[in-house]
Structure 1
Amino acid sequence: MLQTIDHELLRTFVAIVDHGGFTRAAQAVNRTQSAVSMQIKRLEEDVIQRQLFERQGRQMLLTSEGATLLGYARRILDLHGEALTMLRQPDMVGKVKLGVPDDYVMRFLPGILKSFSHTWPLVDVEVQCAPSSELINRHKGQLDLSIVTREVGHEIGEILLQDETVWVAAESHATQRQSPLPLALFEEPCFCRRHACNALTRAGLSYRVAYSSPSLATLQAVVGAGLAVSAWMKSLVTPGMRILDETDGFPALPDASIVLLRSPEATSPVIEGLAQHIIEGFRL
């Protein structure tokens, strides 16, 4: 088994370096000078088996081995203190259940979770992906926070982003010229699907729903292959796709809102911490 280093020996070693000698270090670690000398002797002879200091006149200078150990010692002591701080604060640990449609997983969630993990490294996040209609039904009692899409004017919760709903097609295909127009839309119930179909009907354009899925990734694959035209929020349009508008013969669509729902039963600093990171994540 590898020999371990008592962190108190490291603390004394660092104190000697920082305070310029054994006498002041002894005061800093609340030990006698002889006790400090014994600690360093033990560290040098029994643990490291290398000389850490050399005396030049009245100065105690680090050897090359001592300089190497100093960097490790500071890191070990910093991690030791960080672990104790985290574990002694119950508000810094816990679990959050987050509901989110897969629409936003790749676009927004990576940055939000990365930022949150830096601030709350001991908190577990359970992510449940489902359409907005399902998340709203699950919200009370099953989820702490939910990110969902709502029609403008029918928002509940806190608005994170209001965005245009746009028609999209593959740049490298002319799918939008087909008649009837093949569509790839989210499954019912979806107000975006309803608005798209109603807008085409009012414009007198013939269409068929050729593909239907709850997954944005699936719709993106279908559209990217030139198999259909779809409609989703402008912030979710990816490279290789073209936005279609009135100049292409497509009617305008109503805007949509992304909102954050908080469960009234779930209140804790951890949950509020993730909520704030979500809010900041949608501002970027």
Structure 2
Amino acid sequence: MFLMRPISEFDPLSNYQSIDSEVLRTFVAIADEGGFTKASEKVNRTQSAVSMQMKRLEEDVLQRRLFERDGRQMRLTAEGQVLLGYARRILKLHSEVINTLREPQMVGTVRIGTPDDYAMRFLPGILSGFAQAYPLVQVEVHCETSRQLLQRNDLDLSIVTRQPGEEMGQLLRQERLVWTEAEGFAPHEQEPMPLAMFNGDCFCRLWACNALEVSQRAYRLAYTSPSLSAIMAVVSTGLAVTAQLQSLITPGLRVLGAAEGLPQLPLANVMLVRNAASQSPMIDALAGHIAEGFKL
């Protein structure tokens, strides 16, 4: 007679307990936030529930210490560091499985265009959130000036700068251009004033130069580059003044204005332009993430 044997006799792994994905998500949150309190807010659980989850994980499942206290911070032990690497991989795979099966249409490529300054300031957070939600969507980013982007027809989405009255597409935010220079330096006092600006085909450069000419302020284009990081490197060393969106002004720079004899610059409308020939749930989803990421 054939006798059924317990599965544990065939599969040695069956004696090990599994770890729920929500427990792993909580564990990763603690590692990222450095403590139970902030992690509990991130995973929308009480602090006591988070503590109980980790206690069971350490004592009942893994039988290893995962955390050690360092002042007010919770540090990972060596075992905790090992688990963190596995946890991130497991959660990524879990997300891919769910998204692939629930939303099979969310697989493919989306092409977006943006000026370099927006790519540096806004895209990191936008793309990070989008990648977590839709890990199988590939995003191609093309960095060009607004004028160049508006002439292309091969992009699904374009983030461009427009003057008030010349809007097109969806308004993402409205922001003023400002003059800025490095703290502790005064290149604005030089005659003519040295400017560091984007290369010729750029709205910001056009608006800045027009404002200076109308106010009869002498200037020279001392440095030009297609890269915002290059422009800011020049400005941060005190070599020149630049005009950029106020949200791009970093610590160590100060805003200039009428007190320094500089004219007010116009408002800039940041617009999201969609290609009418490109229609897909992937594009809709990324457009939503971009709109959220540009909110003031």
Q: Answer yes or no: is the 8 Å Cα contact 1:50–1:65 preserved in 2.
A: no
Please name the residue that 1:249 is paired with: 261
Task: Output one character per residue of 1:174-220: Cα deviation in whole Å (capped at 9) or x when no partner.
Answer: 11100111111222222322222222222222111111222211211
What amino acid is aligned across from residue 127 of structure 1 in structure 2?
Answer: V
Match of 2:126 among 103, 108, 112: 112
> What are the within-5 Å matches in structure 2 for residues 122-161 of structure 1?
122-138=136-152, 140=153, 142-161=154-173
d(CA) in 1 for partners of 2:249 and 2:229? 11
What amino acid is aligned across from residue 192 of structure 1 in structure 2?
Answer: C
Structure 1 unmatched runs, 5+: 1-33, 53-63
- Are residues 1:87 and 2:68 paired? no
Query: Aligned in 2, Cα 1:206/1:84: closer, same or farther, shift over 3 Å?
Result: closer
Q: Answer yes or no: is the 8 Å Cα contact 1:51–1:66 preserved in 2.
A: no
d(CA) in 1 for partners of 2:94 and 2:205? 54
Q: Answer yes or no: is the 8 Å Cα contact 1:101–1:132 preserved in 2.
A: yes
Q: Answer yes or no: is the 8 Å Cα contact 1:152–1:255 preserved in 2.
A: yes
**Cα deviation, residue 112, structure 1:** 0.3
Please name the residue that 1:213 is paired with: 225
Larger radius of gyration: 1
Q: Answer yes or no: is the 8 Å Cα contact 2:147–2:201 preserved in 1.
A: yes
SS at match of 1:96: strand
**Cα deviation, residue 126, structure 1:** 1.0
d(CA) in 2 for partners of 1:163 and 1:176? 23
Query: Aligned in 2, Cα 1:243/1:94: closer, same or farther, shift over 3 Å?
Result: same
What amino acid is aligned across from residue 100 of structure 2 in structure 1?
Answer: L
d(CA) in 2 for partners of 1:126 and 1:223? 30
Match of 2:248 among 210, 213, 236: 236
d(CA) in 2 for partners of 1:270 and 1:85? 16
> What are the within-5 Å matches in structure 2 for residues 27-176 of structure 1?
38-43=6-11, 47-48=12-13, 67-68=61-62, 83-88=96-101, 89-138=103-152, 140=153, 142-176=154-188
Task: Output one character per residue of 1:4-45: Cα deviation in whole Å (capped at 9) or x when no partner.
Answer: xxxxxxxxxxxxxxxxxxxxxxxxxxxxxx86x6323322xx
Q: Answer yes or no: is the 8 Å Cα contact 1:199–1:253 preserved in 2.
A: yes
Structure 2 unmatched runs, 5+: 18-57, 64-82
**Cα deviation, residue 242, structure 1:** 1.0
Count of paired positions: 230
**Cα deviation, residue 66, structure 1:** 9.1
Query: Aligned in 2, Cα 1:90/1:51: closer, same or farther, shift over 3 Å?
Result: closer
Deviates more, 1:114-123 or 1:187-196: 187-196
Q: Answer yes or no: is the 8 Å Cα contact 1:94–1:124 preserved in 2.
A: yes
Task: Output one character per residue of 1:116-170: Cα deviation in whole Å (capped at 9) or x when no partner.
Answer: 01110111111111111111111x2x11111111112111111101001111111
Q: Answer yes or no: is the 8 Å Cα contact 2:96–2:134 preserved in 1.
A: no
Query: Aligned in 2, Cα 1:249/1:49: closer, same or farther, shift over 3 Å?
Result: closer
Q: Answer yes or no: is the 8 Å Cα contact 2:146–2:203 preserved in 1.
A: no
d(CA) in 2 for partners of 1:232 and 1:77? 42
d(CA) in 1 for partners of 2:16 and 2:268? 69
Query: Aligned in 2, Cα 1:81/1:38: closer, same or farther, shift over 3 Å?
Result: farther
How much identity, in percent, do the aligned residues show?
45
Give me the TM-score of the superposition, normalised by structure 1.
0.73
Query: Aligned in 2, Cα 1:176/1:87: closer, same or farther, shift over 3 Å?
Result: same
Give me the TM-score of the superposition, normalised by structure 2.
0.70
Q: Answer yes or no: is the 8 Å Cα contact 1:184–1:230 preserved in 2.
A: yes
